[in-house]
Amino acid sequence: MTIRLLLLLVLGWLLPGALSAQNAHPTVIDSLKRRLAAAPANDTLRVYLLDELCWNLSRSDLPKARSYAEEGIALAQRIGYTRGEARCHQDLGTCLSFVGAADEALKHHFLALRLFRKLGMKKAMGYAYNGIANCHNLRQDFTTAESFYLKALVLAEQRRDSADEALFLSSLADLTWQHNQLGRASRYIRRALALYTALNNLPGQANSLYTLGNVHLQQEHPDSARASLREALVLYQMLGDDYGISGTYSNLSAVMLKLRQPRQALTNSQLGLRYARRVGSPDRVQNAYQQLSDAYARLGQYQMAYQMQQRFQHLRDSLMTEANTRAMASLQSRYDAHERESRIRLLTQQQRVTRLRAERDEQRVRLLGVIVGGLLLLVVAGSVLYGQLLRGREALAARNQLIADKNTALERAAHELQALAESKARLYAIIAHDLRGPITAFAGVAQLINFYQRTNDQDSLHHLPAMVHDSAQNLNSLLDNLLNWAASQTGELRCQPERIPVRELLAECYELFQTSAHANQVQLQFEADPDLLLYADRNMVRTILRNLVSNALKFTPANGTVRLHADIDTTDPTQIHLAVTDTGPGLQASQMQQIMHPESARMRAAGLNRTTQGTGLGLQLCRTFSEFHGGSLGMRNSAEGGTEVWVTLPSAGMRTTAGTPSQPQPDAAHAKAAYTAA
């Protein structure tokens, strides 16, 4: 192995120019742009230059690369240059796969494949098969990806093209390695390494050795993995490939940990982080942080290990956020396409209306001709023409009314479509924003369990059940609110009022939140007349109380108080005033305005160590459920400090000692009217 490493170093000194030629230089791009400016407008050379610019800008400036490729496709189609069109489709598909746009990339690769097959270009067909396989790999469809890689390999073997065989074997090795088929991955990568060595292709050798080292590491062969990765490292250093160097150092760190050499592992992971930062690769930086955390933990430096783990977690969350952003952008693109289709349909309707108006105008012209002719024959048939004129005016008025009705229906349909789109967008925002917090909390608890088990921190493990319980309770409350809100929006929620003792509901809510209040060092109280009765839907009132008390606990500092109380509304004796008061910092008028409207996105509790975030869904449910009963929701700052939030609900009177209300309950017609009005 030592002799082989020395030979690689000697080749690095002898071939510096050849090894650096793999990376595109800005001068190359400038040269291509100058040649493009001087090229004729409708010439195959211009298509070739546009394709080259697309490929050289694919890693650094995807929007420009895409614009060059699309311009090349349009020009090739205009001048009938099929080969140039196919190349532009192929390179554009590869550029799109670099940024994870698998569906769009797949479309361009299939277009390229169809054109290459028409031209009989088997070598180019192999590259199209390889691009299609890469797209299926991005979509996690490993079986389909492997079938297309094998098609590309068969074409290369038929043509006896060793370079293409090595390329497709490397792709198959990466795929089977990712799919944990280590035996097949080892066979594929060894065949690729042998071909690259025979071709003296140093980048191919480096990548093959890197993959082979990863396979050995996953097969629990650390000595073989170290040997392969060190050879790959020498080649990457000769090539000046910082991206490959960073990944190799990180994997060498994992190998050294397997070999129980934590200090050497720490040195390798530090070098991996340095090169990853140099190339600006978030994935490589994330892997380096993970290896640093493991190395520090193995050395007993748990504080540093925790810091590296925190950085790893933060970077991974950022990458997940970017992935979610791309997913939301894809959804937005679909929505825009739907909106464009709706606009096209609306324009079609408008064209139809315009055609009707033109027909109406033609009828007017014909009618005027009849009138002129009638004037000439007025002496002979005045009465007949006058009758025809009256009938024509009535028909014209009816047609105008019909057109006006259609216009009104179109405007109403457009407003309903816009309202539906806004409602869906809000629901997506609620789910994307509010579900992320509890789910992230579960992921964090899983990481903590793994960390505490590795560090044998039993005291910290004893606190985890409470954290899991709180996260599960928050997630359950959020899902309950989402389901209730969705049911209320679709009209599937039914209001079933009954007589309910108010104090019974308050006591039930008190028992539900007593543990959480105690954990937050907040005193929870309730007060209500035992004989006071509500006439309302029991589950809706429970939901109202849970949301009001949950919000109050979030905004109340330690040693504070949250109080539930109910009494007859002083302004309307037929209503019960149900309120929750806290001793928090209170709210400004502008903050209250934000909370009372659905567009309020987040609030921060002043003086607290925790942040309350949400979309205002809980208060929307409270307002909706109170309006179902003909009541309302409001809030104000209390005189003693803090905030009071209340709802008004129908009263069923007072319960007498005999167990019957002292005044009659609202009849069924009144309850139905209140529900219909809501």
> Does pLDDT of 442 surpass 90?
no
Q: What is the pTM (predicted TM-score) of this model?
A: 0.43
State whether 421 and 474 are in the same domain: no
> Does pLDDT of 102 surpass 70?
yes
State whether 369 and 468 are in the same domain: no
Using 50, 70 and 90 to split pLDDT, how confident is the model at 660?
very low
> Hey, is 649 helix, strand or coil?
strand
| DSSP state for residue 655 in the 8-state scheme | B
Number of compact structural domains in the chain: 3
256 in any annotated domain: no
State whether 643 and 502 are in the same domain: yes
Q: What is the mean pLDDT of the chain?
A: 80
553 in any annotated domain: yes
Of 138, 141, 192, 204, which is closest to residue 168 (Cα–Cα)? Answer: 192
State the pLDDT at residue 393: 84
| Residue 675: partners with Cβ closer than 8 Å, 6 or more residues away | 495, 628, 629
257 in any annotated domain: no
State whether 549 and 643 are in the same domain: yes
Using 50, 70 and 90 to split pLDDT, how confident is the model at 109?
very high
Give the number of other CB atoms < 10 A from CB of residue 149.
28
State whether 393 and 531 are in the same domain: no
635 in any annotated domain: yes
State whether 584 and 569 are in the same domain: yes
State whether 440 and 530 are in the same domain: no
State the pLDDT at residue 95: 87
Distances (CA, A) of 478 to 399, 543, 558, 567: 54, 11, 24, 29
400 in any annotated domain: yes
- For residue 351, the enclosing domain spans 344-433
State whether 454 and 546 are in the same domain: no
State whether 409 and 478 are in the same domain: no
Q: Is 145 exposed, middle or buried (0-12, 13-18, 19+ CB in 10 A)?
A: buried
> Does pLDDT of 298 surpass 60?
yes
Most confident of 138-142, 442-446, 661-665: 138-142
State whether 385 and 526 are in the same domain: no
**pLDDT tens by residue, 155-178:** 988 989 888 888 889 888 888 888
208 in any annotated domain: no
- 433, 468, 484: which is the final residue of a domain? 433
| Residue 417: partners with Cβ closer than 8 Å, 6 or more residues away | 342
**pLDDT tens by residue, 365-395:** 888 888 888 888 887 887 777 778 888 888 8
Using 50, 70 and 90 to split pLDDT, how confident is the model at 482?
low
State whether 471 and 531 are in the same domain: no
Using 50, 70 and 90 to split pLDDT, how confident is the model at 591?
confident
> What's the CATH code of the domain at 551?
3.30.565.10
State whether 384 and 439 are in the same domain: no
| Residue 360: partners with Cβ closer than 8 Å, 6 or more residues away | 396, 399, 400
State the pLDDT at residue 117: 92
Of 44-58, 83-97, 317-331, 593-607, give the lowest mean pLDDT range: 593-607
- 470, 492, 514: which is the final residue of a domain? 492
Using 50, 70 and 90 to split pLDDT, how confident is the model at 641?
confident
Task: Report the phi/psi class of residue 40: left, alpha or beta, with left for phi > 0 and alpha for psi in -120 to 50.
Answer: beta
33 in any annotated domain: no
- What's phi and psi for 650, nearest 5 deg? -65, 140
State the pLDDT at residue 484: 66
